[in-house]
Structure 1
Amino acid sequence: MTSSEPLLPTTRRALLHRVATAQAEGRTPSLVAAVQRDGRIAWSGARSCVEGHEPDGDTQFRIGSITKTFTAVLVMRLRDEGLIDLDDPLEKHLPGTGAGQVTVFQLLGHSAGLAAETPAPWWERTPGTTRPELADVLGEGPLIHRSGHGHHYSNPGYTLLGSLVEKLRGDTWAEVLRREILEPLGMDRTTQQAVAPHAGGWAVHPWADVMLPEPAEDLGLMAPAGQLWSTTTDLLRFAAFLARGDERVLRASSVEEMRAPAAPPEAGDWDGAYALGLQVVRRKGRTLLGHSGSLPGFLAALWFSVEDDVAAVVLSNATSGPLTGAVAGDLLEIVAEAEPRIPEPWRPLPQVDEELLALTGPWYWGTYVYGLRLLPDRGIELLPLRGAGRSARFSACPDGTWKGLNGYYAGETLRAVRAEDGTVDHLDLGSFVFTREPYDRTAAVPGGVDDEGWRGLSL
């Protein structure tokens, strides 16, 4: 069976049961969900309190802070075009904010030290005209923590990033978003204002089964932090982009950079972190990426797993209802665990490079034994063969060296050091010497090797 085939009936039943339970126990007027596998929508389902009026993949809901991920992509596009550096202070491009010393990187990862919310009144339930200037968004003392010293979620921080986009593009955030992300990805049901068919937002009384309509305000300057309306179909397109990249929007290496944690998590919160516009969560040994969102009357969540190639979206229209993040994670795990991804067939490399082949096999760092194996495109992998050790993958560089891709050796250079006769004397990895024998006396081992060599214990 290939993963592009329909889900099994038992899997579909489990997905529907999870959605039905979430709607009933969460007491939300409606809930719609969808799961994507291998870049294709594999399942969708919905529940509603009004029979025959279930939302579908074309029904818009407010997605709240999932909007931040779109804003982050726009900022990364500016970086890729050379218009900014992520380490640039905000003041360099957007002067006069009063928070100009914070960097673009810190704003993306919520480590700038800015306050979580705007000054009163509650920005999500009041019109954006209440805060016509950045000073109204930031207040008199926008920095409440030391910049760069930890994660503190900040909605105003993403207003600053949206204003940065507008300044450098010379256009509104909404127009830049439409032109640079939504149109290229075919997300024509993602908009700044609601476009029918769309759900209405409701507050459900905590102690009685009655409801109250919530206002749907235009958030003004706060739009880059939470304005968008979208659908499950559009958000799954966005998830596929965040997992693979798309040269029309952002290359694969840049979206991969966005997925890396950007700041230490808060104390005690070791199962989650924040990357560049993306939340990172560890569940049952699986890494989930995406974002949750909420605005009065709406809850939303988008999660995807790169390793499983599965994504899930859950949208509901209640202020406090089902935990959409948990539900989306459950839907993803139901598919990934019930119908795990089928590995690609093993295939040999297209050609043999005798020089690289000669480097494979065991190497010793002191007395620690490692194995070196070849990867496609002249890459290599170094793995500990006994006990604990630092494993890493390396990509080939044009100068004949290799650059570390992950773990302890990420960014470090590995090179083969040759003797005068052209044979490989040792491998140098960030000054660590790997030899063919433990403390090889014929190789250039730092500090040398005792002249008497290996010995037993004389009693």
Structure 2
Amino acid sequence: MTSPVSETLLPGTRRALLHRVATAQTEGRAPSVVAAVQRGGQIAWSGARSCVEGHAPDEDTQFRIGSLTKTFTAVLVLRLRDEGLLGLDDPLEKHLPGTGVGEVTVFQLLGHSGGLAAETPAPWWERTPGSTRPELADVLGGQPLVHPAGRRHHYSNPGYTLLGSLVEKLRADTWSEVLRREILEPLGMDRTTAQPRAPHAGGWAVHPWADVMLPEPAEDLGLMAPAGQLWSTTADLLRFALFLAKGDDRVLSASSVEEMRAPAAPSEADDWSGNYGLGLQTVRRGNRTLLGHTGSLPGFLAALWFSVEDDVAAVVLANATSGPMIGEVAADLVRIVADAEPRIPEPWRPLPEVDEELLALTGLWYWGARPQTLVLTADRGVELRPLSGPGRGARFRACPDGTWTGLNGYYAGETLRVVRSADGTPTHLDLGSFVFTREPYDPASAVPGGVDEGGWRGLPE
């Protein structure tokens, strides 16, 4: 079954998407699987498979999304940072005293590098009422730290409970109300809620050795809600994916969501095939980088992946505790669309104005004897890259003082400046003490160590 959404994909692509979802439902033995793909900010395809004939869910049917909730919580924390109410390097104790893990920083909690345990003390928190743990001490237990803070990535559900409590403390309101007011309403996500609202799927466990099912309880998680409480739909989650790819100043700027996507700690190779940023997972599939999050709670599986370069996002939801490899299915949906119908590049356009002084800086520069090129980009930015082959390169953002700040790669955060002679003529570029000259080892420039007076020469006889 496919939903009546904008049919912008080719028939072969649509069939390949439906085939992948149908295969996942059949081989994963899930009561139902619903999926949707977004391209260019619009839902391009939606489909579902169900074991109940004529009653397959659609893009408006709620499923529980588990740990995808963490990404929403991370956005709330980044909003507090952007408003100046906290710093990412602040210890938790500064804002939420008395937890017993107060030396752990906000940044470490967001990226799961705080050293906290992966789970709460028994009983299994996902299958017990939230009222079982009325205090943070009940969530953290007697030994909340299992690793030194900041040393490694170790996924922690209690860590996001702390972040949710931090939001409540600084906003003086409940996590769910802050979420509704600051993210869901601005983005038009009226089908994303803390409690299920019809139409919604029921959660099931499927017996591993027989084709029979057992209903799963849907507990209110209480203090653990910021780690996994939410219910949502494919349509709402694609709205969220668009926000995570491009930003929205009503919620979080493009630069802040880009910051969320940057790796925050070394990955655990046995658990992750990528990295974790600030509330976002990053994985590599072939030569493609996917961002998003997966989630699970008893009775439900969820995955959201998007590719910024391809401008494609996919959401897959299922109402089974285990079975379909939901993250792989969502990644495959992105791949199917991106490979079958590659993104049409935006037309080339010249810069809106010409700055002759900046234009004079473009072209070849040499780091020692290695040729580099300096290229102008939008908003007076520049890009420095090797003339050929691999090597250090970076994009740079223009600063008000006439310098540039590196945005990526080896030179991220480093300052690029033009050094001029007394008459204002550029003599060289300085980049973190590296000197770039117009000629290889230009004797007229301040090359560290000087340039041999004999100049360049051939092999002596």
Structure 2 length-normalised TM: 0.98
Partner of 2:25: 23
- C-alpha RMSD over aligned residues: 1.0
CA drift of 1:271 comes to 3.5
- 5 Å-filtered alignment, 1:309-388, equals 309-388=311-390
Match of 1:390 in 2: 392
In the other structure, the counterpart of 1:137 is 139
Task: Please give the per-residue CA displacement for 1:372-410, whole angstroms capped at 9, x wherever unaligned.
Answer: 111111111111013431011111111111111110011
C-alpha separation in 1, matches of 2:175 and 2:32:
30
Structure 1 counterpart of 2:350, one-letter code: P
Partner in structure 1 of residue 92 of structure 2: 90
Instruction: Give the SS at the match of 2:183.
Output: helix
Equivalent residue for 1:256?
Answer: 258
Partners in 1 of 2:427 and 2:273 — Cα distance?
43
Quickly say closer, same or farther: Cα 1:56–1:154, change in 2 above 3 A: same
Q: Distance in 1 between matches of 2:99 and 2:405?
A: 39
> Contact conserved, 2:7 with 2:45, CA < 8 A, in 1?
no
User: Structure 1: which 4+ aligned runs deviate by more than 2 Å?
Assistant: 267-271
- Is the 8 Å Cα contact of residues 368 and 386 (structure 1) preserved in structure 2? no
For 1:279 and 1:416, the matched residues in 2 are separated by 38
Does the C-alpha gap of structure 1 residues 268 and 456 become closer, same or farther in structure 2, counting only changes over 3 Å? farther
Paired with 1:26 and 1:270, the residues of 2 have a C-alpha distance of 22
Gaps (5+ residues) in structure 2? 1-5
**SS at 2:86 equivalent:** coil
SS of residue matched to 2:164: helix
Corresponding residue of 1:274: 276
Q: Secondary structure at the match of 2:255?
A: helix
Partner of 2:149: 147
* Residue of structure 2 aligned with 1:183, choices 174, 182, 185: 185
- Return the offset for 1:369: 0.6
**Alpha-carbon separation, structure 1, partners of 2:360 and 2:7:** 42
Partner Cα separation in structure 2 for residue 308 and residue 234 of structure 1: 20
TM-superposed deviation, 1:202: 0.3
Return the match for 1:302 from 278, 298, 304: 304
TM-score by length of 1: 0.98
Q: Give the superposition deviation at 1:267.
A: 3.7
Q: Matches of residues 42-441 of structure 1 in structure 2 within 5 Å? A: 42-267=44-269, 271-441=273-443
Q: Which amino acid aligns with 1:231?
A: T
Tell me the distance in 2 between the aligned counterparts of 1:268 and 1:231: 31
Q: Tell whether the 8 Å contact from 1:271 to 1:283 is kept in structure 2 after alignment.
A: no
Distance 1:188 1:94, change over 3 A: same
C-alpha distance in structure 2 between counterparts of 1:229 and 1:437, whole Å = 61
Distance 2:388 2:22 in 1: 49
Aligned to 2:452: 450
Give the SS at the match of 2:250.
coil
The AA in structure 2 aligned to 1:118 is: T
What residue identity is the alignment partner of 2:349?
R
AA in 1 matched with 2:452 = D
CA deviation profile, 1:220-242 (whole Å, cap 9, x unmatched):
00000000000000000000000
| Distance in structure 1 (CA, Å) of the matches to 2:456 and 2:202 | 78
Structure 2 counterpart of 1:244, which letter? K
1:275, CA displacement in angstroms? 0.5
Report SS of the residue matched to 1:448: coil
Distance 1:79 1:350 in 2: 34
CA distance in 2, matches of 1:189, 1:54: 18
How many Å separate the matches in 1 of 2:220 and 2:350? 56
Task: Name the SS for the 1:140 alignment partner.
Answer: coil
AA partner of residue 444 (structure 1): A
Percent identical: 82
Separation (CA, whole Å) in 1 of partners of 2:313 and 2:269: 29
Are the equivalent residues in 2 in contact too, given 1:290–1:303 (CA < 8 A)?
Answer: yes
* Higher mean C-alpha deviation, range 414-423 or range 270-279: 270-279
User: How far 1:160 moved relative to its partner?
Assistant: 0.3
Taking the aligned partners of 2:271 and 2:176, their CA distance within structure 1 comes to: 34
SS at match of 1:239: helix
Paired residues, number: 456
| Structure 1 residues 245-269: Cα deviation after superposition (integer angstroms, max 9, x where no partner) | 1111111111110010100011456
CA contact (8 A) 2:92 2:101 kept: yes
Q: Once structures 1 and 2 are overlaid, which stretch shifts more, 112-121 or 391-400?
A: 391-400
What are structure 1's unaligned runs of at least 5 residues? Answer: none
CA distance in 2, matches of 1:342, 1:448: 50
Secondary structure of 1:416 counterpart: strand
Q: Which amino acid aligns with 2:399?
A: C
2:97 aligned counterpart, secondary structure:
coil
Describe the SS at the equivalent of 1:336: helix
Cα deviation, residue 158, structure 1: 0.4
Kindly state the Cα deviation for residue 219 of structure 1 after the two structures are TM-superposed.
Answer: 0.5
